[in-house]
Chains A and B, each alone.
Chain A
């Protein structure tokens, strides 16, 4: 049995030596064949292999793990900081962005322009008035207004200019100046008072119903309407103060 094992081991050694010797001959033949048929891999593939070698043979640093953790932590911190900065920069500008978008919408609609005066902010947009001033040339505006009365809305639509004012006591004033060919409807039912007054030398119709007073008159080119909750005298003074 022992003799058999020794013989087996000898035989294994023989097989091993023979296999290596055969491989030597086979390898030589393979290399010669490969030499006859050269192959040139792409530069990209060569680069891949060299990168692979580079990565596999790169020296490993003892603190590599901690360096990696620190690097990840630093990157995360940088991103968080950047996000915070963007947040702080963006939030205050949201109102500005909103106004800018509104302006764009108004610019894209040439037949309709509104002027809004809110919280001392002025957003003006008009195709032609920007060139010559705030209002188109010849526009009527009130030269007299009671104290505390503030403009809350101004609408310029086609040939009609409408001002709306309000004071802290919730008094209301609306002035409308329309161009040639404009018409308006007047409610004459159940009036408290209806009379004729003179405004800028022109005959005007004054009427009141509940708290609302109204003065309507016209010249050759315009139709004027003043509506207000203010007293009659104030309404007449405002109407007289309209000029262009």
Chain B
């Protein structure tokens, strides 16, 4: 995976920030890495590679608050783990099974906008819906809106075509709307 580096880091403030980042989030990083690898050296490899990627996106990290930064870090760990597995040709583990699909499809990214807007969506409703989505859909949404990765970058991480990224994003959003509509119907 070659995510675009955003800026060079070379000052004392960046150094202190990165040290704080490691000290505060190392628990989280190791916990996530251990979900995908059992071997200690593999876990350390993942954490180290992820940290290198985090350094490359330092300006973005600085804009995030504590909790969203945690999600950002978890997603980087996950993408690095997928990358390492792919490089080592490890048989896709159950942990990633929902990220890899045996088929690829492209759908027309087209909502029934009027229908959607009539439902008077609120951020709160969408937030609740996202938390009910499967992990792979959450990952695509977070990669797009939190990590600000381009479709091509998400495609590279997941090892799928660029068009399939759009399909997954569309499906995730559709699912969110379905969850909201289902909730409304149940209330009524």
Contact = CB atoms under 8 A, between A and B. Distances in A.
Interface of A: 4, 7-8, 10-11, 14-28, 30-31, 33-35, 37-39, 41, 45, 48-50, 52-54, 56-60
B176 to A, nearest CB: 8
Interface of B: 8-12, 14-15, 18-19, 22, 26-28, 30-31, 34, 44, 47-48, 51-52, 55, 65-72, 74, 111, 113-114, 116-117, 121, 123-124, 126-127, 129-131, 138, 141-142, 144-146, 173, 176
Nearest to B34: A39
8 contacts: A8-B113, A16-B145, A20-B145, A27-B69, A34-B31, A38-B27, A53-B18, A57-B9
A31 B28 contact: yes
Contacts of B114: 7
Contacts of B26: 39, 41
A41 B44 contact: yes
B111 A23 contact: no
Main secondary structure of the interface of B (DSSP, over half): helix
A4 B110 CA distance: 10
Contact of A18 (B9, B47, B55, B130): B130
A18 B28 contact: no
Contacts of B130: 18-19, 22
A11 B113 contact: yes
A58 to B, nearest CB: 7
A7 B130 CA distance: 20
A84 to B, nearest CB: 41
Which 3 A-B pairs have CB atoms at the shortest separation, nearest pair first?
A: A27-B67, A18-B126, A27-B70
B74 A19 contact: no
Given A7-B113, A30-B28, 19 more contacts: A15-B173, A18-B126, A19-B130, A22-B127, A22-B138, A22-B141, A23-B68, A25-B67, A27-B66, A28-B70, A30-B70, A30-B71, A31-B28, A31-B67, A38-B27, A52-B48, A52-B52, A53-B22, A60-B10
B9 A56 contact: yes
Nearest to A27: B67
A41 B48 CA distance: 12
A53 B9 CA distance: 10
A18 B127 contact: yes
- The residue in B52, B121, B127 that gathers the most chain A C-beta atoms within 10 A of its C-beta is B127
A22 B117 contact: no
Contacts of A11: 111, 113, 116-117, 121
A54 B27 contact: no
A57 B10 contact: yes
Contacts of B27: 34-35, 37-39
Nearest to B19: A53
B98 to A, nearest CB: 16
Contacts of A22: 126-127, 130-131, 138, 141
Contact of B146 (A20, A56, A58): A20
A45 B12 CA distance: 22
A116 B44 CA distance: 69
Contacts of B123: 14, 17-18, 21
B141 to A, nearest CB: 5
A4 B112 CA distance: 10
Contacts of B47: 41, 45, 49
A30 B74 contact: yes
A45 B44 contact: yes
A11 B27 CA distance: 36
B11 to A, nearest CB: 7
Contacts of B69: 27
A35 B114 CA distance: 45
* Most chain B CB within a 10 A radius of its CB, from A7, A8, A53: A53
